A and B are shown apart, each in its own frame.
Chain A
Amino acid sequence: MAITDAPKIITSRLGYDDSHTINRYVATGGYQALRKALTMSPAAVAEQVKAASLLGRGGAGFPAGVKWGLAPADVWPRYLVVNGDESEPGTYKDRILMERDPHQLIEGVLLACYAIGAGQAFLYVRGEMALAQERIAEALNDAYQAGYVGKGILGTDYSIDVVLTWGAGAYIVGEETALIESLEGNRGMPRLKPPFFPAAKGLYMQPTIVNNVETLSNLPWIVANGGEAFAALGAEGSKGTRMFAVSGHVRNPGVFEVEYGVTTFRDLIYAPVYAGGIRGDHQLKAFIPGGGSAPWFFEEHLDLPLEKVTVDKAGSMLGSGAIVVMDDTTDAVKACLRLVRFYARESCGKCTPCREGTTWLERILQRILDGHGRPSDLELLLDVSDNISPGLTWPPKQTTICPLGPSATAPIASALGRFRDEFEARITVAEQARTSVPVELKAPSHA
């Protein structure tokens, strides 16, 4: 076990009831990093973030400092867009940060804009998160009043408006180019990268940095304590601390900030200070290591550290830090269908394979679940998946613009790969029903 005593970097205030207020924030060291940064050059601030090796927490895990450097030199204006659209199945951490520590996020935004020279920032919050919108609105109003945001921040020549904006229910808008479309008032349909890498051609075709809420929430600590201090925590390829939500069949589901790259899945799922093990006297069947799009892991993966490169190599991803634990009572077909249905419902509809393919997959699975499966369905599931994500490899190849379509194939490849017998059992029952008198559907047996 590697349960470390790393400091809480982003969840340090969550113990306070009034953690969301400006008073509490300022009383606990808030806006000191901003004061410090304003005595530094923008480049020096960016340098700290680079030194911290802060990986993006939105899913792709791209180093924030490197991303900032991708904006073409001397092209102005630039924008910062904060991705607060958290919607990946299993993911629950950005909402906590937005509802309970909005000033930390705002300070992070101010630091980022200062460093990259953004002319305006847009904080895009998921539409369904009414409380987060309220808390951020209140925090922004207070921060404007107090002179932390807006014109001539803290008496310097640094001026920026941070605009709270929000969505209206569409998972795909979490994808950064779709987010930009949405922010332009359009349907949230992704743009093709290349050529539309936001850092070069983003909002209004200007250089735009899109960062996740958690990513930005790290900045006050990094600037206050130095990038080196951050990089001293964690493993080689995964620095600092990170929030993980452990949900599903565990005794103590919750969101935990742990040292990145060191703690293992076993620690997180089984340690009493974290999720406390599988509920009742059940056994682990499978777990999703990084949100609904991630291929499933099993018993044999428990001792992998929560480290980006290691997990990628093992054939899945840490994605958005969402671990969903399934015990032996879980119906693999049902779980698989539920995830596939998510992607089918959330497809933006732009790419033919995703629009048509994910729905087709959902309908085949529903048919199997409803007892109308056919023996050829399993190959069909795999072949349709293959036409969305050729080769069903990891990382996925895609016939689509964005990874949403291929995401629907991960649960199929995982569930069919490991629990094919459950699918076959349902189909056998269906076959018998077709050829004889109706039989009551039995729950599948679990290995």
Chain B
Amino acid sequence: MARLSPDNVTLALEIIGRYPRPKSALIPLLHLAQEQDGHLTDDAMAHIAELVGVTPAEVLGTASFYEMFKMEPVGRYVVNICTNIACQLLGGEELLEHAEHRLGVRPGQTTPDGLFTVEDVECIAACTEAPCLQVNYRYFHRITHDEFDQLVDDLAAGRRDDIPPHGTLARVRQHIPPERRAGCVLPEDTATPVWIASASTEEAEA
């Protein structure tokens, strides 16, 4: 199991079709697989390898380079606490420590109930809002220890339906309507773009 579902294969094919080379769709497809299973299974990676025409080793090579891809199951909520410089200066490390205490896990670990994974992460581009964190890549700015506890309680109690389970990134997908689609431009398509060509003919005429 854990190959891509038929619906996801349909989506995958649509995504692949947007890129001049199928392999370019690799990262988006890995996200799709992670959205499906919460983490990347070997079967899903092998399936994606088939879809884009590379070996599973190449898929793993790419996937394992990026830290958002999890090769092992993680919690329903991945809590990324930034401890990089701006957050460090304003209590990011203390917030992390608090989170470790509150949830009883070390960074990289998952609570026994499978709800939370805590991570000590690098700068997440919210520096002026330190200390900050993300839950499944949704931001929480200038967060106090109390607010953290409240957030955890809410999540555990299922009171935060604005935060989808781990793996789901954007809930809106790009969709290019077929009739509006300009089409992929392959490296082999060496023709001058029409608007450039017509501009230069106009110029020549003028």
Q: A138-B172, A150-B176 are in contact. Are A342 and B123 (CB under 8 A)?
A: yes
How far is B164's CA from A134's CA once the two chains are assembled, in angstroms?
A: 13
Q: A150-B176, A171-B122 are in contact. Are A130 and B169 (CB under 8 A)?
A: yes
Neighbour of A187 across the interface among B61, B130, B137, CB < 8 A: B61
Neighbour of A89 across the interface among B20, B26, B123, B202, CB < 8 A: B123
**Minimum C-beta distance from A205 to chain B (A):** 7
Neighbour of B190 across the interface among A77, A127, A183, CB < 8 A: A77
Please determine whether A253 and B89 come into contact, CB atoms closer than 8 angstroms. Answer: no
Please determine whether B85 and A141 come into contact, CB atoms closer than 8 angstroms. Answer: no
Give the residues from 39 to 65 in chain B that come closer than 8 angstroms, CB to CB, to chain A. Answer: 52, 54, 61-63, 65
A299-334 interface bits toward B, Cβ cutoff 8 Å, 1 = contact, 0 = none: 000000000000000000000001010100010001
**Minimum C-beta distance from A379 to chain B (A):** 25
How far is B199's CA from A87's CA once the two chains are assembled, in angstroms?
A: 39
A230 at interface by CB-CB < 8 Å: no
A396 at interface by CB-CB < 8 Å: no
How far is B189's CA from A342's CA once the two chains are assembled, in angstroms?
A: 41
Give the residues from 225 to 256 in chain A that come closer than 8 angstroms, CB to CB, to chain B. Answer: 245-249, 253-255
List A contacts of B68 (CB < 8 A). Answer: 127-128, 167-169
Give the residues from 161 to 198 in chain B that come closer than 8 angstroms, CB to CB, to chain A. Answer: 169-177, 179-187, 189-196, 198
Size of the B side of the interface (Cβ < 8 Å), in residues, is 74
Please determine whether A119 and B169 come into contact, CB atoms closer than 8 angstroms. Answer: no
Please determine whether A129 and B24 come into contact, CB atoms closer than 8 angstroms. Answer: no
Q: A119-B185, A185-B25 are in contact. Are A144 and B176 (CB under 8 A)?
A: yes
List B contacts of A247 (CB < 8 A). Answer: 86, 89, 127-128, 130
Q: How many A-B residue pairs have CB under 8 A?
A: 237
List A contacts of B186 (CB < 8 A). Answer: 77
Give the residues from 13 to 48 in chain B that come closer than 8 angstroms, CB to CB, to chain A. Answer: 18-21, 23-28, 30-31
Q: A157-B194, A161-B18 are in contact. Are A167 and B27 (CB under 8 A)?
A: yes
B134 at interface by CB-CB < 8 Å: yes
Query: Which B residue's beta carbon lies closest to that of A114?
Result: B195
- Tell me the B residues contacting A by CB distance below 8 Å: 18-21, 23-28, 30-31, 52, 54, 61-63, 65-69, 80, 83-86, 88-90, 122-130, 134, 136-139, 169-177, 179-187, 189-196, 198-199, 202-203
Known: A90-B85, A150-B180. 12 other contacts (CB 8 A): A77-B193, A90-B127, A95-B126, A119-B185, A129-B137, A134-B172, A144-B180, A149-B180, A166-B27, A184-B21, A248-B86, A248-B130
- Tell me the A residues contacting B by CB distance below 8 Å: 41-43, 74, 76-77, 79, 86-92, 94-95, 114, 117-120, 126-131, 133-134, 136-138, 140-141, 144-145, 147, 149-151, 156-161, 163-171, 182-188, 204-206, 245-249, 253-255, 288, 292, 322, 324, 326, 330, 334-335, 338-339, 342, 345-346, 348
